[in-house]
Amino acid sequence: MGFEKITLEHKRQVLEELADIKALFAGRNWFPGTSGNLSMRVGDFDPEQFYFAVTASGKDKSLRTPEDFLFVDKHGKAIETTTLKPSAETLIHCEIYRLTGCGAVFHVHTVFNNLISEFFGADGHVPIQGIELIKAFNIWEENAEIRVPVLPNFADIPSIAELVPGVLDANVPGILLRNHGIYAWGKDAFEAKRHLEAFEFLFEVMYRQLLLKGATK
């Protein structure tokens, strides 16, 4: 379906939902120093053609303004004439949509995701086992283990985006960038938020467990 066929009402609903989530996350200090970016798909998913609303680059994400979001295509290019620039990390969102067909992608920088991504960065993944909140990813098996991929934090975003297909795990809706932050996604904004909150909780638990055990590596 072409972008112009998607109803204005649907586009407005998506922008409103994104703005509400942005305000909520800002209240948790999840966008320090203008970091972070959010996106939500509009219309149906077709790997050949899809569109999403994404945060404009470099904005103070704790503010609500008419210039917070723009619509882009599957290549991350603005669809409408605008002076706004899509997030510098839009290509990573594009790749996650293309590979998963998800409905929303949220990226935040937090102290816990930075610390954990660095601690396990050399291993290429964060192993998480036996913590109840793994169930937030719809994994109900007892003592389940997941591995959250950690990618290198290259300055060149296309170089990061091209690593995404090689590490994506269908059961784990998130990827860490080392010393940078997390991308979490879901079939819609509700699920992406649940996943992001679960990751952040799990990283905090792991950090505190490591401290309790006096870990060195």
Closest separation in Å from C-beta 205 to ligand L4RZE5RM = 24
Residues 94-133 within binding reach of ligand L4RZE5RM (CB under 6 A):
107
CB of 214 to ligand L4RZE5RM, least distance (A): 32
Residue 86 CB, nearest approach to ligand L4RZE5RM (Å): 8
Tell me phi and psi for residue 181, to 5 degrees.
Answer: 170, -170
> Nearest-CB residue to ligand L4RZE5RM?
87
Please name the residues in contact with 57: beta carbons below 8 A apart, sequence gap of 6 or more: 37, 84, 85, 86, 87, 88
Nearer to ligand L4RZE5RM among residue 54 and residue 102 (C-beta): 54
- By beta carbon distance, the residue nearest Zn ion is 181
- CA 18 to chain CA centroid, nearest Å: 13
Please calculate the CA angle 71-76-80 and round it to the nearest 5 degrees. Answer: 35
Give the Cα separation of 164 and 151 in Å (integer): 8
What minimum distance in Å lies between the beta carbon of 173 and ligand L4RZE5RM? Answer: 18
**DSSP E strands: which ranges in the chain?**
37-42, 51-55, 69-73, 104-108, 125-129, 145-151, 174-177, 181-186
Closest to 21 measured CA to CA, from 64, 75, 66, 79: 64
Torsion sign (Cα): 127, 128, 129, 135 = negative
Scan residues 170-209 and list those touching Zn ion (CB under 5 A). 181
Q: How far is CA 167 from the centre of its chain?
A: 15
- Nearest residue to 111 (alpha-carbon basis) of 19, 33, 167: 33
Task: Locate 73 and state its tokens.
Answer: 């295509």
Of the pair 174, 181, the CB lying nearest Zn ion is at: 181
Say which entry of Zn ion, ligand L4RZE5RM, none residue 88 contacts (CB below 5 to 8 A, set by partner kind).
Answer: ligand L4RZE5RM
Task: State yes or no: residue 33 binds ligand L4RZE5RM (CB under 6 A).
Answer: yes
Binding partner selected for residue 95 from Zn ion, ligand L4RZE5RM, none, CB under the kind-specific 5 to 8 Å limit: none
Give the shortest CB-177-to-ligand L4RZE5RM separation in angstroms: 8
Q: Is 57 in the site for ligand L4RZE5RM (CB under 6 A)?
A: yes
87 makes contact with ligand L4RZE5RM (CB under 6 A): yes
Q: Which residues are at the interface with Zn ion (CB under 5 A)?
A: 181
Q: Which residues are at the interface with ligand L4RZE5RM (CB under 6 A)?
A: 33-37, 55, 57-58, 87-89, 107
